[in-house]
Structure 1
Amino acid sequence: MNRKVVLFDFDGTLVDSLEAIVRITNRLSGEFGYQKATAEDVEALRNLNSMQIIKTAKVPLAKVPFLLQMVKLELNQEIQNLKPIAGIIDVLADLKSKGYPLGIVTSNSQDNVKTFLHNYDLHEVFSFVHSGSTLFGKSKVIKKFLRQEKFLPEEVIYVGDETRDIEAAKNTRVQVIAVSWGFNSKEVLVKHNPDFALDRPEELIAAIGHLQQS
């Protein structure tokens, strides 16, 4: 039996970038016309989906694409300081040794991802890195990956930390594992009915093994 391809989201799933993103978005608040987020605000936002977050923060919808582009540019200045999620490197090594092809599908930039992978000697772990700049259309990035790499949806598992990751996977008929160590809380992730909702990276091994058999 061929191993399924395991695709990972980047920010929040593989890399601990939440604090950096909060700092950056707070710095850009004056330019883009929204309020800075306190620690309490961030905790509350973890229980909302992407559209609810934008409405709550009162970010003008027309400015969202430009805001995302600025965040990615600013992240490029902080990428050297970002660290992997605790325990995720061992999990990736385990999956690789079991023969799973690994990839990344993200709304972050290819440059940021590749710099991070080089810093932690992970560039040979991943066979695919696909990125797209859309907030709500991550399913388009997954569809593009499937088309370019010639995989069927049933041959792929997607791992992400946000409700939009679950929605994108479901829209493309890809199995999805939601992880609670990133942005969205487990409570809101479960409401979107992923195949699995996990709290610790080491739980990925068993969950992916189960989906491999399905």
Structure 2
Amino acid sequence: MSIKVILFDFDGTIADTLDALVNITNRLAVEFGFKPLNPEEVPLVKTLTARQLIKKSGISIFKIPPLLKRVKLDLRQEIQRLSPIIGMKEALEQLKDEGNILGIVTTNSEENVRLFLNQHQMEELFSYLYSETTIFGKNKVLKKFMSQYNLTSEQVIYVGDEARDIESSKKAHIKVIAVSWGFNSPEALAKHNPDFLIHHPHELIETIRQI
């Protein structure tokens, strides 16, 4: 199959935002009524799915939408100081040079993503930037994206760092590359049976060539 469009998650996949997101959510913990995360808990949290993490935190499901809105607003103040995952920019440049069409489908805000891409001279690498707030319905976002741009599932592959990215891709009937450098641990990702599991951005190039 010739991949025409490679879609990427943003947080944890392209941008190294994990520490910033942990710090922001911890600052908001008291206001939104959930337990802050201790540094020693991070390895455990990386084994949890989004649903398991929400349950562990004790936050009310009704507070999640306003919490996500606040997190994205606070992240805007820090986004230009954050860095891409080491080796990611170079991998993206090579993928584009080899004729692939690249895009981003994210639950982060479009403004945050564009600020980051501009800061690191990466915006021209991407033909698509699609942002929509959702926690568990990313498969619907992917399907909506494909419908909007008249793409079939055979033309698209998704690259993400969470178990929910794998689940959503499978529901959208597209191939998925899971990356172990983001939110979920390699072991947690492997349990969800991605089509590919890689451990460094340079592996993206050969993986895409194999498909």
| Alpha-carbon shift at residue 4 of structure 1 (Å) | 2.3
Give the drift of 1:181: 0.2
For 1:132 and 1:92, the matched residues in 2 are separated by 23
Letter in 2 for 1:130: Y
Aligned length: 211
TM-fit CA distance, 1:116: 0.7
- Equivalents in 2 of 1:49, 1:156: separation in Å? 24
TM-score (norm 1): 0.96
Distance (Å, rounded) in 2 between the aligned partners of 1:124 and 1:7: 15
Give the letter for the 1:185 counterpart: S
Q: Does 1:189 align with 2:204?
A: no
> In the TM superposition, what whole-angstrom CA distance separates every residue of 1:83-141 from its partner, at most 9, and x where no partner exists?
00000011001000000000000000000001111111111100000011111111121
Aligned-residue RMSD, C-alpha = 1.0
Distance 1:114 1:49 in 2: 27
The answer on whether the counterparts of 2:3 and 2:156 sit within 8 Å (CA) in structure 1 is no
| Corresponding residue of 2:52 | 52
SS at match of 1:182: coil
Q: Is the 8 A contact 1:3 1:99 kept in 2?
A: no
Distance 1:2 1:198 in 2: 20
Question: Counterpart in 2 of 1:105?
Answer: 105
The AA in structure 1 aligned to 2:186 is: K
Identify the residue that residue 18 of structure 1 maps to in structure 2.
18
How far apart in 2 are the matches of 1:196 and 1:59? 33
Question: TM-score normalised to the size of structure 2?
Answer: 0.98
- Structure 1 unaligned regions, length at least 5: none
What is aligned with 2:42?
A: 42
Instruction: Indicate the residue corresponding to 1:170 in structure 2.
Output: 170
1:141 and 2:141 aligned? yes
How far apart in 2 are the matches of 1:37 and 1:80? 24
Identity of aligned pairs, percent? 52
The one-letter amino acid paired with 2:158 is: Y
Q: Tell whether 2:205 aligns with 1:205.
A: yes
Match for residue 62 of structure 1? Answer: 62
